[in-house]
Structure 1
Amino acid sequence: MENTVQSVDRRIRVKPRAVPEPPATVTVVVPCYNYANFLPQAVHSCLAQEEVEVDVIIVDDASTDSSLSVAKGLAATNPNVSVLSHERNKGMVATFNDGAKIATGEFLVRLDADDLLTPGSLARATQLAGAYPSVGLVYGHPIHFSTESLPEARSQASAWTIWPGQDWLRDRCRSAQNVITSPEALMRRSVVERIGYQAPLRHTPDMELWFRISAFADVAYIHGADQAWHRDHPNSMSAKEVDGCLDLGERYEVFETLFGGLAGQIPGAEELLRDARTALVNEALYTAGLELDRGLPDPALFAAYRAFAKDVDPEIEGSALWETLSRRINNPAPAAGANVLPLLRRVRGRIRTNRNWRKWHRNGVF
C-alpha cells in the first residue's frame, strides 16, 4: 500500500508555526463502559477545545450504570455530541471501531471516558498535521494523575519532531515497547480508513494501530506541551494487574498481528519483525535473570519467561545468553552481601529505566 503524500526524508525538529487554513475538523470517539461519573468531564474537555471544529461520538458499551442516560443528556444539550449504544457488551475494540467508522472529521481521536484533553490539545496537534500532510499520527506528553483536581498542564509547544513513519517504527521494533498512552494521540482519519481500524487484541489494540499507521504515514511529536490527562484509578484498564510474562505475550501478539497484515508488505518487514522478536526474547531472559537474583521467589514465573523466549525463538536454547542463565540456575543468588553482582544488575536496570523515562518525557521516544 503506497503512501500518496510525499514523506519527510529524515527526522526533523522544527519550531511550531501557524498554518493559515480554516479550522480543522476533529471527531473524538469516547468509548464508555460504566463511567457515568467521569463521562461529562471527558466530553466537556473536548467541547472546550478552541480553534478547531469538534464533534464527539459517545459509544456506550452496554453499561450497567447510568452512563447511557448521562450520554443522552450530554447529546440533548449539545448538537456536536451524538450517542451510539450497544445492546450487549462488545468490548473496547468494537466500541472504538463502531464510533470511528461513522466519524466525519478530518482527524480522529480516541478518548476513554475517564480521560481528558488538555486545553488547546487539538489545535496544537492539527496545526502540526496541517503543516505536514504526510503525518498520519501526532502525539505528545500525557499527564498521569489520580487526584481529585487536575494537575496544571503546559500549553506552549516548544518544538515539533517529525519522523519518516518507518524510521519511527524501526525504533519501536528494536525496543518492542510502546511510547503512547492513548488520549494524547491524534490520527488522520483518511489514513485510518485506508489501513483499517483496531485489531481484535485484548490489551494492546492501540499499540498495534499506532504502529500500523507508522508503516504507511509519518509520525510527529509535540514538545513542551501536555496533550492529555490520563486518569489512573483502580478500575481503569491500565491499572489492571498484568504480570511481566503476560505483557510480553501481549506485545508479541502486536508484532505478529502487525506484520501478518498490511505492514508485512513494507520494505524490510521481515527484518523489523525479527528485531521485535529479538528484543522480546532478550527482555524475557533478562527478566528471568532478575528472578534468579531475587532468589527465585516464583519458580513458575521464571519458567514462563524461559518458555516464552524459547517459543518465540527456538534457536535461543543454544545461545550464550541461554547458557549463562542455565548455569545460574544451578548456582542461585548467594546470601545477601556475599556477591554484589545481583545488586549491580538491579542498579544497572534501574538506571536504564530512569534514563529511558527521562528521554520519553522530553522527546516521546526512548
Structure 2
Amino acid sequence: MKPAGVDVIVPCYNYGRYLRRCVASVLRETRIPIRVLIIDDASSDGSAAQAREIAAEDDRVEVVAHRVNQGHIATFNEGLGWVRADYLLLLSADDLVAPGALARAVGLMESHPDVAFVHGRAIRFSHEDELDPLPESADADGAAILRGVDFIGDLCARPVNPVETATVVVRSSIQKRIGGYRPHLLHTGDLEMWLRCAAHGSVGVIGAVQGYVRLHANNMRDRYKGPADYQQRYEAFVDFFDHNSAVVADAPQLKRRVLRALARQMVGDASNALDNGRRYAWMIARAREIWPGVRWTRSYWRLALKGIVALLLARGRWKGAPKPADTGPTP
C-alpha cells in the first residue's frame, strides 16, 4: 500500500527572493512522499525563472507560470485542483515549514481518520539569521483532538483567526468535498475555510512548532486593517453560517454568539481609539449594525459617557482642562 503523502501548493507573486528557502523547507521532509507545485502569478521579479531552476533540481517540484495575474484566491483554487495526495498544505512563498511538521501532521491524521485538518504552533520572524538553521521540534511535544463544533464555538466566542496557514495540513478528501476558497473573502478566506473544514470533521492541534511565518513590508495581511478587517471577518462568519447551517449543530445560536462578540470587540477597540485620540464613531455605528443589542451593554454606555466627556473637553466646557485630540462624533 502506498504511504500517505502531502501535496504542497506554493503560490508566489513577487516573492522570488524567498522561494528557494520556502521550497527547501518542504523538500527536507523524506519520511513521507512529497510533491510541490509552485504557481507563479505573473510576477515581475523573476520568480518564474527561479521556480523553474528549483524544479530542474528536484523532480518532486512542478511549476505553473501565469501569463496574466489572476489574484491569490484564483491561484489557491487552481492549486487545490492539482492535488492528488491524501493530504495537502497551502504554503505562501515567503513562509517556511518546520522540520518534521508534515510527518507529524500525517501521523496524527492517519491515527485519527475523523480529523479534517491539523494545525500547530507558528514562529514569526523577520530575518533569515533568526532561523539559521531551522530549529528542530521534538515529536513528543504532544497533540490534541478538538471536536469540530467546539473549534467553531471557540472562534465564534473570540472571532479572530488563531490558525496560521503555514501550519495547516488538510485531508484532501475533505477539501474536495467542501470546495475551494470564496472569491469575495480576500482577507479572511482562510478563516472561513477552517470553519468549513471543522463543520465536516475534528481538528488536530499539534503542540510542536509546525511553521515559520515571515514578517516583512509586503505582507498581504497588513493590507486589511480597521474597517476592512472587521468587515471581512463579519463576511467570513456570515458566509459560513449561510452555507453550512445544515451541518453545524446549534448554528443559529453560534451565529448570534459571533455577532455579539464582534460588536463587543468593536466597542472595546472604539474605547481604545478614544483614549488615544483617534476617531472611533465608525466602529460604534458598525457595532450597532452587526448586533443592535450592543447599545444595552455596560461597555457601550461607559464608552458613551467617555465620549460625552471628551466632547465637552474639546469644546472647552470644562475651563482649564487640557483639550484632547479630535476624536470624532460621540456614539
1:181 aligns with 164
**Which whole-Å CA distance do the structure 2 matches of 1:243 and 1:178 have between them?**
14
Residue 167 (structure 1) aligned with residue 150 (structure 2)? yes
| 1:266 equivalent in alignment to 2:248 | yes
Distance in 1 (CA, whole Å) between partners of 2:289 and 2:75 is: 33
* CA positional deviation for 1:263: 4.6
Following the alignment from structure 1 to structure 2, what is the Cα–Cα distance between the partners of residues 243 and 236?
12
**Deviation of residue 167 (structure 1)?**
1.0
CA distance 1:321–1:264, change in 2 (3 Å)? farther
2:323 matched residue in structure 1: none
Query: Which residue identity does 1:155 align to in structure 2?
Result: S
The 3-state SS of whatever aligns with 1:331 is helix
Q: Deviations over 1:304-338 (max 9, x none)?
A: 11011011123433544433322221113989xxx
2:16–2:45 CA contact under 8 A, matched in 1: yes
Aligned residue for 1:202?
186
**1:329 equivalenced with 2:312 (yes/no):** no
* CA drift at 1:289: 1.5
Partner of 1:211: 195
Deviation at 1:159, TM superposition (A): 1.2
Q: Which amino acid aligns with 1:125?
A: A
Instruction: Find 2:36's aligned residue among 45, 56, 70.
Output: 56
| Aligned counterparts of 2:142 and 2:300: Cα–Cα separation in 1 | 44
For 2:264, the equivalent position in structure 1 comes to 282
| Match 1:132 to one of 102, 108, 112 | 112
Q: Work out the CA distance in 2 between the residues paired with 1:227 and 1:65.
A: 29
Which of 286, 292, 302 aligns to 1:308? It is 286
The question of whether the paired residues in 2 share the 8 Å contact of 1:138 and 1:221 is answered with yes
State the 1:154 CA deviation.
4.0
AA of the residue aligned to 1:161: A
CA distance in 2, matches of 1:241, 1:68: 24
Per the TM alignment, residue 262 of structure 1 is displaced from its structure 2 partner at its CA by: 2.7
Task: Identify the residue that residue 317 of structure 2 maps to in structure 1.
Answer: none
Q: Which runs of 5+ in 1 are unaligned?
A: 1-20, 336-366
In the comparison of the two structures, how many residue pairs are matched?
Answer: 309
C-alpha distance in structure 1 between counterparts of 2:92 and 2:31, whole Å: 22
RMSD of aligned Cα (Å)? 1.9
Which whole-Å CA distance do the structure 1 matches of 2:138 and 2:59 have between them? 30
Contact 2:260-2:294 at 8 Å conserved across structures: no
- Cα deviation, 1:79-128, whole Å, max 9, x if unaligned, reads 21111222211111111110111111100101100111111110111000
Worse-superposed segment, 97-106 or 257-266: 257-266
Q: Distance in 2 between matches of 1:131 and 1:286?
A: 42
Amino acid at match of 1:208: E
- Which one is further off, 182-191 or 85-94? 85-94
2:124 and 2:214 in contact (8 A); partners too: yes
Contact 2:187 2:224 in 1 (8 A): no
Match of 2:234 in 1: 252
Q: What residue is the counterpart of 2:216 in the other structure?
A: 233
Shift of residue 146, structure 1, vs aligned partner: 0.6
**What is the alpha-carbon distance in structure 2 between the residues aligned to residue 139 and residue 68 of structure 1?**
29
The separation in 1 between residues aligned to 2:16 and 2:114, in whole angstroms, is: 38
SS of 2:252's equivalent? helix
| Deviations 1:190-219, CA, capped at 9 Å, x for gaps | 001001111121111111101110111100
* C-alpha distance in 1 between matches for 2:21 and 2:123: 16
Hey, what's the Cα distance between the residues in 1 that align with 2:30 and 2:193?
Answer: 27
Distance in 2 separating the partners of 1:154 and 1:256? 40
Deviation at 1:181, TM superposition (A): 1.5
The DSSP-based 3-state class of the residue aligned with 1:71 is: helix
| Map of 1:342 onto structure 2 | none
> Who is 2:204 aligned against?
220
Give me the whole-angstrom Cα distance separating, in 1, the residues matched to 2:239 and 2:202. 20
Percent identical among aligned pairs is: 34
**Secondary structure at 1:141's aligned position in 2?**
strand
Cα offset for 1:22?
Answer: 5.5
CA distance, structure 1, for counterparts of residue 57 and residue 196 of structure 2? 37
SS in structure 1 of the partner of residue 69 of structure 2: coil
Q: Say which SS state the counterpart of residue 176 (structure 2) adopts.
A: helix
2:127 and 2:259 mapped to 1: Cα distance? 38
